[in-house]
Amino acid sequence: MRSFTNRTGDKVEVTQEHLDNALAIYEELSKNSPSGKVSWRKLKKMMIEDGFENAESNESYRQLIKRERKEQGKLPSVQKHADMLADNKIKSIQEEIGEMRSSKREAQDQYLKLNRLKREIIRDNAVLKELVEAVESNPLPEMKDIRPMFSGEDDKKTLIVCLSDIHYGAVVREFGYSYSSKIAETVMQDYLQKVIRIAEDNLVETIHVIGLGDYIEHITMRNDNVYMAEMTWSEQVVGVSQLVSNFLIQLAKYFKVNYTAIAGNHDRVAGNKSDNIYGDSAITISNEIVKSTTQHVENITCVKTDEYHYLLEVNGFNFLFIHGDRTSIKPKDILGRMSVLHDKQVHALISGHVHHFTMRECGYQKHVVSFGSIKGSDSFSVKIGSTAQRSQGVIIVSEDDYEIRKVNL
């Protein structure tokens, strides 16, 4: 008879029936999970529902199940599995899978409805009005008032502040990482404080705030989005727009602020990129909400730009901002390509998308950069081996030079 050590240190023996039941639940959960991963907490719950009270989720129990899977090399025999289903001994599997499939069908139905309406969302003034009214009926999240202390009038600089990969509405609670809308608000507050300190130290008068895309998480872009979002698509758009608006309002108390934002892959209306219409994105709506929210605030100017790129000239330096999903920054000649495409010498190409900071020097005052994310690491970044701490980025521009700086959060 097999055994494992429980959480109190006692040795617990389990029957073959216990093991067969656990393996059956494991395989069904794995098969119906978008990532193929199994929640041991859920497996334990289902085992207890099936009458196996001594099931655990600790490491010793996990290793026992893994050894048994390895030795069997497969599920219990087809006949045994069928008998278990027929005898209702693993009723919890049927209930759980039924809930999963029901949720998937509901998500698919929502996607079809969203796909039919996507052409109307941007152009329909009634929808925009509805979203704006939603903003006006919900107070902006508060951010602390941080008053800068300027020390002089000489050598004033311009500051470019990037907002990249907020993924508002996403929920992360795995692999030691966590994220939610509340955490997003806290991280944005931290970023605001650091931006004001940088601006104070460099005697900044004007700040250009540029959104690099992926403001929202979406709900139908991937199969697991619907399980990893805490609110609807519309609520995500309104929520992140409020968060960004308050960020701008706080900065405008001390600086002249220019704002624009471009779209990322998570911002598109259609889940499938091949179905999306050019410019059909949450950013178009968010920009309208931010403009409406801040239109009476002194020192804030909302700048209109192309949906997927923004070219900014400061003190003779040309900075091109993209999200990074439509144009890869990996080619060594990417700066030259972008310069030809936009008919202007591009000094720095700035992107988001990859959720971590990189900077490549391509010549004298020539750089290709990716800034990090507000969201931080999640199961997807763990899966592709690309984890990184939360960070954003700023560019400090003087009369004859510029400095690209990573801001850890």
- Condensed to tens digits (0 to 9), the pLDDT of residues 24-39 reads 998 888 887 766 778 8
| Other CB atoms within 10 Å distance of the CB of residue 396 | 18
Assigned domain for 259 exists? yes
Place of tokens 């779209």: 263
Burial class (CB in 10 A: 0-12, 13-18, 19+), 183: middle
Same domain, 268 and 369: yes
Give yes or no for residue 221 having a pLDDT over 90. no
Query: What one-character-per-residue DSSP string does 187-224 give?
Result: HHHHHHHHHHHHHHHTTEEEEEEEE-S--B--SSSSTT
- If one compares 175 and 97, the residue with the highest pLDDT of the two is 175
CATH code, 215 = 3.60.21.10
Distance CA 217, CA 398 (A): 35
Token pair in block for residue 327: 């144009």
| Other CB atoms within 10 Å distance of the CB of residue 329 | 19
Q: Which pLDDT belongs to residue 157?
A: 94
Instruction: Work out the average pLDDT over 377-381.
Output: 70
Final residue in a domain of this structure, among 57, 75, 93: 75
Assigned domain for 374 exists? yes
CB neighbour burial string for 29-62, b if at least 16 within 10 angstroms, e if fewer: beebbeeeebebeebbbbbebbebeebbeeeebe
Secondary structure class of 367 (helix, strand, coil): strand
Q: Which pLDDT belongs to residue 361?
A: 95
Instruction: Work out the average pLDDT over 155-177.
Output: 89
Instruction: Work out the average pLDDT over 98-103.
Output: 60
Distance CA 195, CA 177 (A): 25
- For the stretch 5-14, contacts whose Cβ atoms lie closer than 8 Å and that sit 24 or more positions apart, written own/partner, are 5/58, 5/60, 6/54, 6/56, 6/58, 6/60, 6/61, 7/56, 7/58, 12/54, 12/56, 14/52, 14/54, 14/64
Give yes or no for residue 374 having a pLDDT over 80. yes
Number of domains in the chain: 2
Q: Which pLDDT belongs to residue 151?
A: 47
Assigned domain for 98 exists? no
Instruction: Work out the average pLDDT over 363-374.
Output: 95
Which of 45, 53, 59 shows the shortest CA–CA distance to 6?
Answer: 59
Please give the helix or strand (H or E) that residue 234 lies within, else none: helix 233-251
Backbone dihedral angles phi then psi of residue 180, each to the nearest 5 degrees: -165, 180
Distance CA 283, CA 321 (A): 15
Instruction: Work out the average pLDDT over 247-264.
Output: 96
Assigned domain for 377 exists? yes
Same domain, 268 and 364: yes
Same domain, 212 and 322: yes
Same domain, 40 and 161: no
Final residue in a domain of this structure, among 75, 106, 122: 75
Assigned domain for 87 exists? no
Which of 121, 67, 96 shows the shortest CA–CA distance to 276?
Answer: 121
- If one compares 119 and 317, the residue with the highest pLDDT of the two is 317
Domain of 61, in residue numbers:
2-75
| Greatest mean pLDDT range, 54-68, 94-108, 226-240 | 54-68
> Which of the four pLDDT bands, split at 50, 70 and 90, describes residue 88?
very low
Assigned domain for 49 exists? yes
| Greatest mean pLDDT range, 84-93, 219-228, 318-327 | 318-327
Final residue in a domain of this structure, among 33, 52, 75: 75
Assigned domain for 137 exists? no
pTM of model > 0.75: no
Assigned domain for 380 exists? yes
Same domain, 57 and 182: no
Token pair in block for residue 360: 């490549």
Q: Which pLDDT belongs to residue 7?
A: 82
**Torsion sign over Cα 196, 205, 211, 240:** positive
